[in-house]
């Protein structure tokens, strides 16, 4: 049987014994279509005893080599790559490369599909393990911050007051308008809803107590901490993460400086100062918002509102809310900085860890606030 093409051909000579397969012409991509038809036509008309003649083979590229693999098989092609010394070195090298790649290739085994229940349990286990690893990393980072803080406090010359003041402006002063506006509106909403419910019992006067208790103990510090988690923790992560991606932190270490001392401590100290001040502002704005609603809707004058505050609300409620602020501030700053140090080096990583820092900060703040509320309730404070 004979098939042939002017540019390239595969000729099977059945008149000789053993049968001889002659490969001639340029086996390149330009002749691929014609050669493909020829190789398909030759299937089944030769076997392993058929001799192969490559003496008339011209140019060869990867497309032609792939057709030779289909025609001869990978094992036979490897033998020819070693024995066909008359071929150009480039063609022999190409044949040898194709043979080696086929030898190294193996079809990946298909993993058995797991049941839905196993997949759900695997996801839960992975999430629990991630939570445990993140918790350990956060606790270790908190210890590192405290150790660095103690070491720096003993050396006043190493205090970075300029950086601390700059971060206080960014995290505290610049956030004051949004904190004040938000808590004012929430205070007005709480007073309005409280008055609507208490009016059914003829106890609208207790709207003053409701607003004062809720903002002094919970709402002011919680809303402020959540705002700081979304605004400040994300900023800390993005700033440190960008420095990590640009290898600036490696440069700091190369200079013999401590990144925790230079980058983390000023941010932690700034938030420790800013968050309690913002919490106090939130308490005032929330109570003022409730007072405005009481004056407009309930005919409770500002003088009566203040008098009820003085008679019914003890200072311990103010202290209960304010004492939680430094703990929230420390955790928010620590989580934001830690996620920044976890950035791997790409813009995608910066975005992912920024999102993670916000989620973790809000989660930790809410859990800690719930635990503190239960503790103060049991203590009767």
341/208 same-domain check: yes
Q: What's the residue count for the chain?
A: 381
Which H or E element spans position 7?
Answer: none
Q: How far apart (Å, rounded) are the C-alpha atoms in residues 304 and 299?
A: 10
Q: CA–CA separation, 333 vs 325, rounded Å?
A: 12
Q: Give the range among 38-42, 182-186, 229-233, 290-294 with minimum mean pLDDT.
A: 38-42
- Residue 123: inside a domain: no
DSSP-derived secondary structure letter, 56: E
Spatial separation of the C-alpha atoms in residues 19 and 69, rounded to whole Å: 19
Q: Are residues 162 and 264 in the same domain?
A: yes
Residue 55 has pLDDT above 80, yes or no: no
Determine whether 368 is exposed, middle or buried from the number of CB atoms within 10 Å of its CB (0-12, 13-18, 19+).
middle
pLDDT, residue 285, reads 93
Tens of pLDDT, residues 188-213: 999 988 888 877 777 778 888 888 88
First-to-last C-alpha distance (Å) of the chain? 101
- 377's tokens: 């309730």
Count structural domains, the chain. Answer: 2
- C-alpha distances in Å from residue 5, one per residue of 1, 2, 12: 14, 10, 13
Same domain, 80 and 227: no
Same domain, 49 and 139: no
Report yes or no on 32 lying in a domain: yes
Q: Which two tokens stand for residue 103?
A: 């030898």
β-sheet bridge partners, residue 11? 2, 22
Q: Who has greater pLDDT, 368 or 42?
A: 368
Chain segment 62-117, per-residue pLDDT in tens = 777 777 777 777 677 777 777 776 777 777 777 777 777 766 655 566 777 778 88
Peptide bond into 18 cis (omega under 30): yes
Residue 110 in domain: no
Residues 61 and 173 placed together within one structural domain of the fold: no
List for the chain the helix, strand, coil content (%; round to 5).
75, 5, 15
Range of the domain at 78: 2-104
Domain boundary among 89, 104, 119: 104
């Amino acid at each position: 049987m004979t098939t042939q093409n002017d540019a390239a051909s595969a000729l099977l000579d059945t008149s000789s014994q053993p049968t001889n397969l002659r490969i001639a012409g340029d086996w390149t991509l330009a002749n691929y279509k014609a050669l493909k038809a020829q190789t398909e036509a030759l299937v089944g008309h030769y076997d392993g005893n058929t001799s192969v003649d490559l003496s008339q083979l011209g140019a060869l590229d990867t497309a032609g080599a792939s057709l030779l693999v289909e025609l001869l098989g990978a094992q036979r092609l490897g033998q020819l790559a070693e024995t066909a010394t008359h071929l150009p070195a480039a063609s022999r090298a190409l044949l040898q490369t194709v043979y080696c790649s086929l030898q190294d290739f193996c079809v990946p085994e298909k993993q058995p599909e797991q049941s839905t229940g196993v997949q759900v349990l695997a996801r839960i286990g992975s999430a629990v393990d991630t939570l445990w690893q993140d918790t350990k990393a956060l606790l270790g980072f908190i210890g590192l911050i405290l150790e660095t803080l103690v070491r720096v406090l003993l050396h006043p010359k190493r205090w970075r007051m300029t950086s601390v003041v700059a971060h206080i402006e960014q995290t505290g002063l610049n956030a004051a308008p949004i904190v004040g506006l938000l808590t004012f509106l929430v205070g007005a909403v709480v007073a309005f809803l409280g008055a609507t419910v208490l009016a059914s019992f003829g106890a609208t006067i207790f709207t003053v107590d409701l607003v004062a208790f809720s903002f002094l103990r919970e709402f002011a510090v919680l809303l402020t901490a959540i705002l700081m988690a979304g605004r400040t923790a994300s900023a800390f992560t993005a700033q440190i993460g960008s420095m990590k991606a640009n290898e600036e932190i490696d440069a700091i270490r190369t200079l013999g400086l401590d990144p925790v001392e230079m980058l983390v401590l000023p941010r932690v100290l700034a938030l420790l100062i800013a968050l309690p001040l913002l919490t106090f502002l939130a308490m005032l704005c929330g109570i003022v918002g409730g007072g405005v609603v009481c004056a407009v809707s309930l005919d409770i004058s500002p003088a009566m509102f203040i008098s009820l505050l003085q008679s019914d609300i003890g200072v311990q409620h103010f202290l209960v809310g304010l004492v939680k602020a430094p703990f929230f501030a420390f955790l928010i700053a620590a989580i934001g900085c830690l996620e920044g140090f976890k950035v791997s080096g790409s813009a995608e990583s910066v975005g992912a860890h920024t999102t993670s820092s916000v989620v973790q900060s809000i989660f930790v703040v809410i859990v800690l606030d719930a635990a503190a509320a239960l503790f103060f309730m049991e203590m009767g404070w």
